[in-house]
Amino acid sequence: MGAEVDGAALLAALRLQVEWGADEALADAPLDRTALSAALPPAGAPFPTAGAPAATRPAASPLNRRAPAGGLLIPAAAPPAVSLAAELAAAAGSLDALREAMAGFEGSPLRETATNLVFADGVPGSGLMLIGEAPGADEDRLGRPFVGVSGRLLDRMLASVGLGRERDFYVTNILPFRPPGNRTPTDAEIALFLPFVLRHVELASPRLLVLLGGTAAKALLRSREGITRLRGRWHEVAPRGEGGGALPALATLHPAYLLRNPAAKKDAWHDLLLLRRRLDGA
């Protein structure tokens, strides 16, 4: 009788995990996400790079080691996967090379459950780069970002201020692989892929950034504030840290959020007008 009760309890626990989106068994042992999260800089701190001023640059070896070709300074205590990601990102000299490096990166179990790497879409030389959260089911299937329902809404939103994907902007995500069950990316996953994102921004060389949703905004602005506080104003993102040049970045609501909360579209429209005025030089 006791075995039957235990079996029922285990089945109920498994069903709960599936409802929460944990529908894939990725490893024999759980990942230590606290160790990966510790690799993120504290809120408000610049991301350490080779171009950082002496007053803010981390101490040299033995505490840190530099990735190839300049690039990020990697804390010696960083998890091996984070260090490898930073090295691969820094060594990529072009967008094609970065895509190849990300496709070959084996430091994340997400690649084992995803169908495709979702790298980017649009025009990299357009001067406007949008960064979202993570691929969904349609994006994972097609290998392109923002091609599902939220992507179609994004295209309509930008078209309302005269912008088209085929000529006016370039779009990517914080994560290149779909999280199982479309769950929100963890801090550990963001920390792992952030070096690739920062290098992606460097290589695309946009003049303006638009951060779609809380995941992208908090990761790139090093902020713990929610998107409703961050949106509606311009910030700065420095892909190579202080001394490496900062880009104007507008935080706004993710299209998926707008689909769930249509009343928030008025706030998104306000943000689009801010973007249009900045593009027009007003």
Q: How does pLDDT run across 28-77, given as a tens digit for each residue?
A: 555 555 555 555 555 445 444 433 443 333 333 333 444 443 344 444 44
Q: What is the reported pTM? A: 0.75
Rounded Cα distance between 63 and 103, Å, is: 30
State the pLDDT at residue 14. 66
Rounded Cα distance between 151 and 170, Å, is: 13
What percent of the chain lies above the pLDDT cut of 70? 71
Residue found under tokens 């079996």: 7
| For the chain, domain boundaries | 47-279
User: Which amino acid appears at position 38 of this protein?
Assistant: A
State the pLDDT at residue 240. 79
> Is 98 within 8 Å of 81 (Cβ atoms)?
no
**Exposed/middle/buried for residue 250 (C-beta within 10 Å: 0-12, 13-18, 19+):** buried
User: Which amino acid appears at position 201 of this protein?
Assistant: V
- Residue ranges of the chain with per-residue pLDDT less than 70: 1-78, 242-244, 282
State the pLDDT at residue 72. 46
Closest to 236 measured CA to CA, from 226, 222, 224, 225: 222
Sign (positive/negative) of CA torsion 121, 138, 210, 46? negative
State the pLDDT at residue 245. 84
**What CATH architecture applies to the domain 47-279?**
3-Layer(aba) Sandwich (3.40)
